[in-house]
Structures are given as structure tokens and as C-alpha cells.
Amino acid sequence: MLKIGELAAVGEVSSDTLRFYEREGLIAPTSKSAGGYRLYDDDAVVRLRFIKQARDCGFTLAEIQQLLVLRNQSEACCGDVRQRAIEKKLQLEAKIRVLSAMSKALDHLIADCSNETHPIDRCPILGALEKATASAGLGGKE
């Protein structure tokens, strides 16, 4: 059996993270020692690696909770997990598009500011942002 610090070291997370995962219902100690320390079995190591890998793939804690439930459901099938993975990919691809549009908007602003020695009150980037803010404000009043 592992104590919380030992499990944290194996999983390369902090003890606080493990306590947070416990509060979120993702992982729980198998038992407690006579001194009240949390004790974890080998399944906790597998579960922790699962959580970390799923987080790396962009799943939220709530989604990971659902995946862990599916993992223990005998009537669930791989198709259920696959569908969630495809939906996560759709969400990530949508985010990538938004980020790409933001990056392109920054490209335009950076290109407009070809002279970095301009005084701050003539900075084209700040000017463009102010103009955008003013337009948005006017639009909101109409």
C-alpha cells in the first residue's frame, strides 16, 4: 500500500492534486492507516495515470469521471468511449480555429506596427485596439 506522498511521486503529481482529485470523486484511498494516513493500492496508480493521460488529451475532470464510470461498466463498449473521444476532438478542432483566428489578428496588428520607436500615444496596436473597443461600445448602444 502507498501513502499519499508515495502515490504522488509515482504519478508525478502533488499531494494537493491527489486531495483535489479525491474531492472531485476521481480517486479515493483504499483504506486509512491506524494513524489516519490515506493508503492507496495498485489500482490507484493505474487510475492516476489514466486521469493524467485523459487530461493531456483535453478531457475535463467531469468527462474523466464519466470515462472512469464507463471503464467499470460491464455493459459499456469501446464505441461509447470512442464517441466521447471524437466529440473531444471536435471541440479541440473548434478551439484551434478560434486560436488560429486570434493569431492571425495579432499578425495584422504586429505588421501595422512596423516602427517600434513610435511614442506610446502613437502606437498603432494600441490605436487599433482602442478603435475596436470604441466600435464595440457604439455597437452596443445602438
Partner 1 sequence: MKIELFYALGCDKCASNRTSLKVAAERAVPGLEWHELNVLEHMDYAVELGVLNLPAIAIDGALEFPALPSAKQLVAAITRKSAVAESR
Interface positions with partner 1 (CB under 8 A)? 77-80, 82-83, 86-87, 89-91, 93-94, 97
Q: How far is the CB of 79 from partner 1 (least distance, A)?
A: 3
Instruction: Give whichever of 85 and 128 is closer to partner 1, judged by the CB atom.
Output: 85
CA distance linking residue 85 with residue 68, whole number of Å: 14
Q: How far is the CB of 98 from partner 1 (least distance, A)?
A: 10
CA distance linking residue 11 with residue 47, whole number of Å: 10
Instruction: Give whichever of 9 and 76 is closer to partner 1, judged by the CB atom.
Output: 76
The closest of 96, 24, 88, 98 to 53, measured between CA atoms, is 88
Q: How far is the CB of 87 from partner 1 (least distance, A)?
A: 5
CA distance linking residue 17 with residue 22, whole number of Å: 9
Q: How far is the CB of 45 from partner 1 (least distance, A)?
A: 30
Which triple of cell numbers denotes residue 99? Answer: 486560436
Q: For 61, what's the count of Cα atoms within 13 Å in the CB-facing half-sphere?
A: 11
Instruction: Give whichever of 22 and 80 is closer to partner 1, judged by the CB atom.
Output: 80
